[in-house]
Amino acid sequence: MYSPLSLFLPNSVCIVSLVRVFYLYASENVFQSDITFSTGNLTYWTALEVHTAIVIACVMTLKPLIVRFFPGFLDPRANNNSSGEQGATGEPTAASSEPPLTGG
């Protein structure tokens, strides 16, 4: 099952792109002598579109950081271990009810 956040994040770039296209169309109809003043909003939305795409593309590399500092944020089952102890990754530690893995 996908979370609502995973469905919204990729679409947010499309939303920003649609807003940019609106300002692109609006800037065509403005006839001013100062082109930098009349296309200020278009420049803002163009930069925002690129930066949003970069952040969305890199968000999965932040998963280990999020899991370390907020263990229950991505996996709600991480808080349901019997001993209450968790390691750095949010997984139960060796003191939990599961037997340790041993090499033969």
Residue 86, Ramachandran bin (φ over 0: left; ψ between -120 and 50: alpha; else beta):
beta
Q: What is the pLDDT of residues 31-85, one digit of tens each?
A: 777 777 777 888 898 999 999 989 888 888 888 888 888 888 776 665 554 445 5
Least confident of 10-14, 21-25, 79-83, 88-92: 79-83
- Which helix (H) or strand (E) is 52 found in, with range? helix 40-58
Contact predicate 32/38, CB 8 Å: yes
Classified as helix, coil or strand, 20 is: helix
Cβ partners under 8 Å of residue 61, min gap 6: none
pTM over 0.75, yes/no: no
Per-residue model confidence (pLDDT) at position 41: 83
Per-residue model confidence (pLDDT) at position 34: 77
Per-residue model confidence (pLDDT) at position 101: 66
